Structure 1
């Protein structure tokens, strides 16, 4: 699994050019959040909120005693009150590589994510193709486990390794896929034999609210290991560019 944040919400050059003040420590995401939050409660125009109210919020210590600036306090208040639509204006785009179709199925259960997924119809998966064949994910629980009294193709092998059973099946999947393709079966039909373990690549975009909700459900111990790993990678990437979000990543 390889996860990279390739884009996130940034202030436009036009908007930055209108700002007469600089607010040390404030991120672009925070300024977008402040604009959205205060638009709901302020008589000022949305385009003027950062300039007119920025010093009050970014230049003053938080009055709730929980650290940070008044902007941090305001965002904490909004998050706790459930006014989460104001966090939907902050977006993050990730490249996600080498994850299983099983994980992809779980991802699509989450709303407000946008996906662009590598196609098994147009990307050929023959052994000699540019893709190098069918790649797959192998759970750690498969490794070094024995199957008691396992009769492997009537050869009488006992305590056969689960890892070899798994990999043997995947080799057979590749051989069968290759045979179907050589027989003239289109890739869009040959792909029907591919298992959930087959890997894929995708681009995913989500807003802050959807990412926090995803993390809350998928970082828990009850979630499967692969999607837990993805949730932690996404969290780390978001916090790196928007550190103020760290306290909002909570497991439900």
Structure 2
């Protein structure tokens, strides 16, 4: 049993297929996500087939400056227009998969309230035994920032964690199965999960959970870490996270 810290890592994201690459004529440093976004958006308005859009229209959008006077290419102008007009369902075709480690069960309860556009695979307290003598070495836990830095508060909090662990171990020693003994584990108990979400869903999540929106700090920190991971592979999304909320 030990204190743990949140870690977020992007493990997969939308990339164009090998066959689509044959029609992909780069005009600059556009990303796969931008190619998918352009294809989805222009499919709604173009006489060209989806498989033809990047080949026939890519130069127009990726190869020229934004006609609205804004930053980036005319593709960036189109993406801004789509978001402003509320047609952001076209960005649901771009997805990201994250490994999220060392978050509290309290955060998990908040996170899984965001259902549309999200998929979750969560470490099970039923199948992963959390006893002191188990492979896990006991449950790890997350200490809230409001507790840290105070000798008295930290002592009380850590004593509570030890008590929960002792209760869990005692129940297991009496033959109580892990799926029932887990009932005494606290909201602070840490968990790990894999989460996949599309870009539209992530922007909605960020607008509600970013710092300054009244969300608990742990989930606000998660929102910022998810944003950084997305922007690391799709930098053009930064303007939409900035404008969210």
Classify the TM-score, shorter chain. Answer: over 0.9
* Greater gyration radius: 1
Q: Secondary structure at the match of 1:43?
A: coil
Equivalent position to 1:243, from 219, 229, 235? 235
1:105 aligns with 2:97: no
TM-score (norm 2): 0.94
Q: 1:57 deviation in Å? A: 0.4
Number of the residue aligned with 1:170: 161
Aligned to 1:135, the other structure's residue is in SS state: coil
- Correspondence 1:224 to 2:216: yes
| 1:8 and 2:13 correspond | yes
Contact 1:57–1:69 under 8 Å retained in 2: yes
Q: Secondary structure at the match of 1:200?
A: strand
CA distance in 2, matches of 1:187, 1:67: 55
Show the counterpart of 2:59.
55
Q: TM-score, normalising length from structure 1?
A: 0.92
Alpha-carbon contact 1:29-1:242 (below 8 Å) kept: yes
Unaligned runs of 5+ in 2: 1-5
Note the C-alpha offset of 1:251: 4.3
2:25 corresponds to 1:25? no
Summarize the alignment of residues 84-103 of structure 1 with structure 2, pairs less than 5 Å apart: 84-103=88-107
In the TM superposition, what is the alpha-carbon distance from 1:220 to its structure 2 partner? 3.1
SS at 2:162 equivalent: helix
Q: Which runs of 5+ in 1 are unaligned?
A: 147-160
What secondary structure does 2:121 align onto?
Answer: strand
Distance in 2, matches of 1:145 and 1:44, equals 64
Secondary structure of 1:192's aligned partner: helix
Distance 1:18 1:209 in 2: 26
Q: Give the corresponding residue for 2:144.
A: 139
The alignment of Structure 1 onto Structure 2 pairs a total of residues equal to 237
Give the 4+ runs in structure 1 shifted more than 2 A.
143-146
Provide the residue aligned with 1:119 in structure 2: 124
| Corresponding residue of 1:155 | none
CA contact (8 A) 1:134 1:174 kept: yes
Native 8 Å contact 2:203 2:244 kept in 1: no
The residue that corresponds to 1:209 in the other structure is: 200
Q: Is the 8 A contact 1:220 1:251 kept in 2?
A: no
Matched, 1:38 2:39: no
Q: Which residue of 2 aligns with 1:80?
A: 84
